[in-house]
Amino acid sequence: VRALTQLGALAQAFEGPAGGHRPLGAAIVATERAAAETAPPVQLFKLADGRRLAWRDYGDPAGRPVLVITQDLSSSLLPRGTNVLARDLGLRLIATERAGSGRSDPHPDFTFANVAADSVALIRHLGIDGLQITTNTDGAAYAMEAAVKLGDSVARILLASGRPPGLQAERERDQGHKLTLFWRRIYRNPWLSDMIFEMMRLSLSRAQFERYACAAASAPGDAAYLKAHPELLDFIIDYTRESVAVSARGAADSIRCAARSAEPDLSALACPVTLWHGDQDPMNGVEVVQAWLGDHVESTRIFPGVGRFLAHKHWPEAMAWLARS
């Protein structure tokens, strides 16, 4: 009862008052300044077990290939301008949607390894070698599993704002970060995830997203970035709405997986990992990610004045990094 009360209160903190707010309308519709209007179309790849994996293909088809593993409550939608910039940089970005999210079918046995295998199957079907992988936040475990399965085909990994899998203790300073509290508590009570995420999915409004974005921007640098770039809200709306357009199953499965699963075995990881992390990240410090990845970390870069929004604020820079040999 306490867990339900706490999580319900935190979820309500992201919602506007009842009534009076314009609904967002049909699923997967671009807003005026958002990314969807210039994004490549969603494609569907049929997996060996008959399920479908949704993905988008950005940039130059003959460019340097990059597998993009997105975060929870996200789709294959990348920031506006990605398609043109990737083409200019000679990159091909292959962004997949996690099982049960967006247009991808759910996985009956949702684990880090099994879900990563979906992206691996697509990469092998496309005949891609010399691959890079980039991911952020809680996409980290899936990216590492994919890299292990692909072996020498992966040259390097760029991980921004990494989140090691599993439970993390609630800290006193988390009281000032509602979204951090929400994630800490839902991981401790994964049996509530289906209900919580489905309730959130059915009540989505622009007012709710504004509250959610403000909660995510609890770090001072993130709040300043959101204020200076209000179009970020449109992007958050589009990728979140795409991710739950069919159901909230993928988000709930991700929570249960992270709560129950052992950390991926990285002993066979053959490529180096570069870490990018904001010095205001409210979820975890970079030292937590370094401890998880150990000797696989080749280099670490700390970005001042940024927290959760590192991947948003520095996406063009990340693409430039991926384009360098």
Task: Give pLDDT, residue 156.
Answer: 98
CB 90 within 8 A of CB 113: no
CA distance 280 to 167: 20
- Interhelix angle 249-260/193-202, rounded to 10 degrees, is 150
> Average pLDDT, whole number, for the chain?
88
Q: Which percentage of the chain shows pLDDT scores above 90? A: 66
Q: Facing residues of 160 across strands?
A: 136, 276
pLDDT level of residue 16 (50, 70, 90 thresholds): very low
- Would you say residue 13 has pLDDT above 70? no
Question: With 0-12 CB in 10 A as exposed, 13-18 as middle and 19+ as buried, what is 16?
Answer: middle
Token reading at 193:
């995830």
Write the pLDDT tens digit of every residue in 267-296: 999 999 999 999 999 999 999 999 999 999
Q: From residue 25, give the alpha-carbon distance in Å to each of 30, 73, 103, 202.
A: 10, 18, 18, 12
CA distance 279 to 301: 10
Q: What is the mean pLDDT of residues 46-60?
A: 98
- The pTM (predicted TM-score) of the whole model is 0.89
Q: What is the mean pLDDT of residues 246-270?
A: 91
Task: Give pLDDT, residue 95.
Answer: 98
Q: Pick from 101, 93, 48: which is nearest to 73 by CA?
A: 101
CA distance 114 to 74: 19
Measured in degrees and rounded to the nearest 5, phi and psi for residue 33 equal -110, 10
Task: Give pLDDT, residue 282.
Answer: 94
pLDDT level of residue 12 (50, 70, 90 thresholds): low
Measured in degrees and rounded to the nearest 5, phi and psi for residue 54 equal -90, 140
Write the pLDDT tens digit of every residue in 153-164: 999 999 999 999
Ordered strands of the 52-59 beta sheet: 43-46, 52-59, 91-96, 64-69, 131-136, 154-160, 273-278, 297-303
Task: Give pLDDT, residue 11.
Answer: 56
Is the backbone of residue 74 left (phi > 0), alpha (psi -120 to 50) or beta?
Answer: beta
pLDDT level of residue 26 (50, 70, 90 thresholds): very low
Write the pLDDT tens digit of every residue in 180-231: 888 888 888 888 899 888 888 887 788 888 888 888 999 999 999 999 999 8
- Would you say residue 114 has pLDDT above 80? yes
Q: What is the DSSP letter of 156?
A: E
Task: Give pLDDT, residue 17.
Answer: 41
